[in-house]
Chains A and B, each alone.
Chain A
Amino acid sequence: MGHEHVSNTKRIWKVFTFLSFVTIVEVYLGIIKPDFLYLKNFLSMNLLNWIFIILTLVKAYGITWAFMHMEAEKSSLRWAVVATVIFLVLYLLFILLVEADYIYGIFKDSTIKWNF
């Protein structure tokens, strides 16, 4: 990289094939929902959802690194962008999801009736 006149078309198509493949796997799993993944939990989320989330992050990596040319940027720019987002998102998710789960528990164990 860094040479302005070198064409990267081959790599672009390779990344596209990879992203399409991952999407097809996701859709296939989403349609058949195999019981051995869907009904098994790990850290209070089922395995199928874990697979979906991991594959999504893989796809996000592919798009950012290859399509947005993050791989060719200086590491200071990479860290400034990626680390900021990852840290803030993890923090936000931690706060909101833990709180939501707590509220769920409150609703469930209280005398509030909704299903009538």
Chain B
Amino acid sequence: MGATVTTANTNENTWGGGNEPMGASYGKLMMWFFIVSDALTFSGFLAAYGFSRFKFIDNWPIADEVFTHFPFLHGVPAPMYYVALMTFILIFSSVTMVLAVDAGHQMKQKKVAFYMLLTIIGGLIFVGSQAWEWKNFIKGEYGAIETKGGSIIQFVDKTGKRVKLEDFAVVLPEEREQHKRSNGVWFADEATLPTYSVAEVQAGFKAHPDLLVRTEKIYRDTKEDKANKALQTGLNKNKHREILNRAESEVMVGNAHLVVEGANLQRNEYGSKLFADFFFFITGFHGFHVFSGVIINIIIYFNVLLGTYEKRRNYEMVEKVGLYWHFVDLVWVFVFTFFYLV
């Protein structure tokens, strides 16, 4: 809507501020320029993600195995459904935003307010969903072992199905308390201890001869991979993680160094350490954008209710905040593709 009236004095001469470069008002043009720079920031993050992924293309976690939760469906693997729902929520809130802008062009105050409110609610639901997604990601589901070599190994049964640590680890009569500032030296503490110790997982592995180890490495069905004696025959599938035979698995478990449950910035049970870092950083930065968008929307919403734009006889402010909101949606479309689909 390049023809929308602006609040600037349009009857001033060109050098006096009456000029509108590219036919857009000052505020709108600046919003576009901000969007360009923010788009480049996100591109930088996603390109960095792509860099790390291409660098570790043989051992990058598979998103389908990581994001499998859906509310009220406990234990049912539901890859993609939840994030698809989140995408719909965000696209829908984009629609209500554009409807608010449209109502603003027709100077319908009540309608603008109603659609703005829907947009705010949509944004809040999205941020809440993202928090839930983070919770599941941080908590983890199966648990894994980090070896002395620094790689993550996971456990499967003889059919190749994932096995949780709690399903096979034994409880040994050992006692190890978390070192907190309150119970040890006052100037030092340590992170929360995992549910099982390395020795307990190792003993459990020994007691279950059916268990096998799955490494970070992705099986590619090449001649080299087919000839690899260390792999369990019959279980390895193209583009899935390599499953070792029992003898090799025992060697790996013998190398165990740490029990890893869930994810933090240092390590995660899903595989490559950088994966969790990028997940937290990029979805976090996007979530922060959504959050700020909700705040800005609330401010504009109150201005609409107070009749500020009615008095001004123009709702361009709604249009500007709308541009930002659509941009946030646009970024999510890319995050969705590169984190969950590709």
Are B56 and A81 in contact, with the CB atoms below 8 A? Answer: no
Least CB distance from A110 to B in Å reads: 13
Are A100 and B54 in contact, with the CB atoms below 8 A? Answer: yes
Least CB distance from B342 to A in Å reads: 5
How many chain A residues touch B (Cβ–Cβ < 8 Å)?
A: 60
Are B51 and A114 in contact, with the CB atoms below 8 A? Answer: no
Q: 0/1 per residue, B69-100, Cβ < 8 Å to A?
A: 00000000001110010011001101101110
Query: 9 more A-B contacts (CB under 8 A) besides A85-B39, A115-B149?
Result: A12-B98, A23-B91, A73-B23, A73-B24, A81-B36, A89-B47, A100-B51, A100-B53, A116-B148
Are B79 and A31 in contact, with the CB atoms below 8 A? Answer: yes
The tally of CB-CB contacts under 8 A between chains A and B is: 168
Q: 0/1 per residue, B89-126, Cβ < 8 Å to A?
A: 00110110111001001100000000000000000000
Are A114 and B327 in contact, with the CB atoms below 8 A? Answer: no
A residues engaging B (CB < 8 A)?
Answer: 1-2, 4-9, 12-13, 16, 19-20, 23-24, 26-27, 30-31, 33, 38-39, 49, 52-53, 56, 59-60, 63-64, 66-69, 72-74, 76-77, 80-81, 84-85, 88-89, 92-93, 96-97, 99-101, 103-104, 107-108, 113-116
Are A77 and B333 in contact, with the CB atoms below 8 A? Answer: no
- Contact partners of A39 in chain B: CB under 8 A: 238-239
User: In chain B between 121 and 155, which residues have their CB closer than 8 angstroms to a CB of chain A?
Assistant: 147-151
Are B44 and A92 in contact, with the CB atoms below 8 A? Answer: yes
- Contact partners of B235 in chain A: CB under 8 A: none
- A sample of 28 cross-chain residue pairs with beta-carbon separation below 8 angstroms, ordered by A number, consists of A4-B1, A4-B106, A7-B102, A12-B95, A12-B98, A13-B95, A16-B92, A26-B337, A39-B238, A53-B342, A68-B326, A73-B22, A73-B24, A74-B22, A74-B23, A77-B22, A80-B32, A85-B39, A93-B47, A100-B51, A100-B55, A104-B54, A104-B56, A104-B57, A104-B58, A115-B215, A115-B217, A116-B151
- Contact partners of B327 in chain A: CB under 8 A: 68
How many chain B residues touch A (Cβ–Cβ < 8 Å)?
A: 70
A100 vs B94: C-alpha distance when bound (angstroms): 35
B26 at interface (Cβ–Cβ under 8 A)? no
A44 vs B252: C-alpha distance when bound (angstroms): 32
Are B44 and A9 in contact, with the CB atoms below 8 A? Answer: no
Within 8 Å by CB of A93, from B50, B59, B94, B252, lies B50
Within 8 Å by CB of A89, from B3, B43, B215, B340, lies B43
B318 at interface (Cβ–Cβ under 8 A)? no
User: In chain B between 257 and 272, which residues have their CB closer than 8 angstroms to a CB of chain A?
Assistant: none
Within 8 Å by CB of B333, from A33, A56, A97, lies A56
A24 vs B336: C-alpha distance when bound (angstroms): 13
- Contact partners of A60 in chain B: CB under 8 A: 330, 333-334
Are A81 and B32 in contact, with the CB atoms below 8 A? Answer: yes
Among residues of B, the one whose C-beta sits closest to the C-beta of A85 is: B39
